[in-house]
């Protein structure tokens, strides 16, 4: 079958579920994954044919996409901050908004700690995307990463190996931690922050496939993880230490107040690429 003709069928079958831009994105991601070709390569070879086995490969993925399974889980990998990452059902899929958080940390670190050693802790590391990206881009950093899930940590360690990043991983529940037992210059976290009342806003591909342990928090205590981490940061950040969070877009004011309550200063709330309150920073 000619691949360009198959693209028409691929698009038609996914149109009831996705918009045209998403379908195009899926097609070209798979083109590169299956045939090591980019859009321009297919344009240069409009008569390229795929054999029966290759067609079966495409059809298998197509059926999963129709069920709204995330393409990152189908392929078992994604890209974050220019680096390749393994993903599976035990980890959240890294998102562009989190890349902005990493970029902010790098921006602050390169201005305020250009040469000195910095000690960083990433709490709730998941795939390890934040910790590994920081370790790769801050040669002067000693990076630690913590998660309650052993399965997530196995993925994170695999990603650290894949990217030759030096990260020390800790299997630990932050909610059961009374003291981190060492001092850090930077603590960062993207903890669970979606309230159950917001589930109706969540797309099926997230709600049915991504781990709820890493996503949701009870409505009556939406700042549970933030409060605990901020309390520990107050004890375990060095003088002038920095605290960074990715946050629920609806709770920006509450987060500002939380950091004030724990004596953080220079508090800054930032919007993400979509115009939502998404990141917050404070200095101890």
Task: For 30-74, write each residue's pLDDT tens digit.
Answer: 999 999 999 999 889 889 999 999 999 999 999 999 999 999 999
Q: What is the pLDDT of residues 114-136, one digit of tens each?
A: 557 899 999 999 999 999 999 99
Nearest to 180 by CA among 122, 139, 129: 122
For residue 151, what are the contacts with CB-CB under 8 A and spacing of at least 6? 90
Q: Taking residues 275-284, report their average pLDDT.
A: 94
Cα radius of gyration (the chain): 21
Q: Which sequence spans correspond to the domains of the chain?
A: 3-67, 78-283
CB burial of residue 104 (10 Å; 0-12, 13-18, 19+) = middle
**21: three-class secondary structure by DSSP:** helix
Question: Could you tell me where the DSSP H helices lie in the chain?
Answer: 3-14, 20-35, 39-44, 52-66, 71-75, 96-112, 129-137, 150-162, 204-207, 224-236, 252-261
pLDDT in tens, 211-259: 776 767 777 778 889 999 999 999 999 999 999 999 988 989 999 999 9
Q: Does the pLDDT at position 261 exceed 90? A: yes
> How many Å apart are CA 278 and CA 269, to the nearest integer?
8
Under a CB-based contact definition with an 8 Å cutoff, are residues 50 and 6 in contact? Answer: yes
The tokens for 238 are: 């060095």
**Residue 112 burial (CB < 10 Å; 0-12/13-18/19+)?**
middle
Architecture of the domain defined by 78-283? 3-Layer(aba) Sandwich (3.40)
Alpha-carbon 49 to chain mean position: 36
pTM: 0.89
Tell me if 134 sits within 8 A of 106, measured CB to CB: yes
pLDDT the model gives residue 199: 64
Report yes or no: 30 and 62 within 8 Å, Cβ to Cβ.
no
Across 86-90, average pLDDT: 92
pLDDT confidence of residue 102: 97
End-to-end CA distance of the chain: 62
Residue with the larger pLDDT of the pair 116 and 268: 268
Structure confidence at residue 114 (pLDDT): 58
Query: So what's the pLDDT on residue 206?
Result: 72
Q: How far is CA 188 from the centre of its chain?
A: 13
Mean pLDDT value across the chain: 90
Residue 112, pLDDT score: 63
The confidence score (pLDDT) of residue 221 equals: 78
Three-class SS of residue 28? Answer: helix
Would you state the pLDDT for residue 194?
75
Whole-number pLDDT of residue 28: 94
pLDDT digits (tens, 9 = 90+) for 170-223: 999 988 988 888 999 999 999 877 777 776 677 766 777 767 767 677 777 788
Question: Residue 200: its pLDDT value, please?
Answer: 67
**Strand-strand pairing, 184-189 and 194-195:** unpaired
Return the pLDDT at 179. 87
The predicted pLDDT at position 87 comes to 95
Return the C-alpha torsion angle 121, 114, 95, 20, nearest 10: -170
Report which DSSP code applies to 280.
Answer: E
């Amino acid at each position: 079958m000619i691949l360009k003709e198959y693209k028409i069928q691929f698009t038609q079958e996914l149109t009831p579920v996705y918009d045209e831009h998403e379908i195009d994105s899926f097609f070209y991601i798979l083109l590169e994954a299956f045939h090591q070709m980019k859009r321009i390569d297919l344009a240069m070879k409009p008569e390229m044919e795929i054999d029966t086995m290759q067609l079966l490969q495409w059809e298998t993925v197509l059926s999963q996409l129709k069920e709204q399974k995330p393409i990152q889980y189908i392929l078992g990998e994604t890209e974050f901050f220019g680096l390749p990452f393994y993903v599976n059902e035990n980890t959240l899929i890294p998102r562009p908004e989190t890349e902005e958080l990493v970029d902010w940390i790098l921006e602050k670190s390169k201005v305020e700690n250009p040469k000195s050693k910095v000690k960083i802790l990433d709490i709730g590391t998941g795939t390890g995307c934040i910790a590994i990206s920081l370790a790769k881009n801050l040669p002067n950093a000693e990076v630690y990463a913590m998660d309650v899930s052993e399965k997530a940590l196995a993925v994170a360690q695999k990603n650290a190996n894949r990217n030759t990043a030096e990260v020390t991983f800790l299997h630990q529940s932050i909610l059961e931690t009374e003291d981190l037992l060492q001092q850090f210059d930077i603590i960062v976290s993207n903890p669970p922050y979606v309230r159950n009342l917001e589930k109706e806003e969540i797309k099926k591909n997230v709600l049915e496939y991504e781990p709820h342990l890493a996503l949701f928090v009870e409505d009556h205590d939406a700042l549970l993880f933030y409060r605990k981490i901020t309390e520990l940061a107050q004890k375990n950040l060095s003088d002038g230490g920095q605290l960074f969070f990715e946050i629920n877009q609806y709770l920006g004011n509450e987060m500002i107040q939380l950091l004030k309550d724990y004596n953080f200063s220079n508090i800054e709330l930032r919007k993400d690429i979509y115009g939502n309150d998404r990141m917050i920073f404070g200095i101890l």
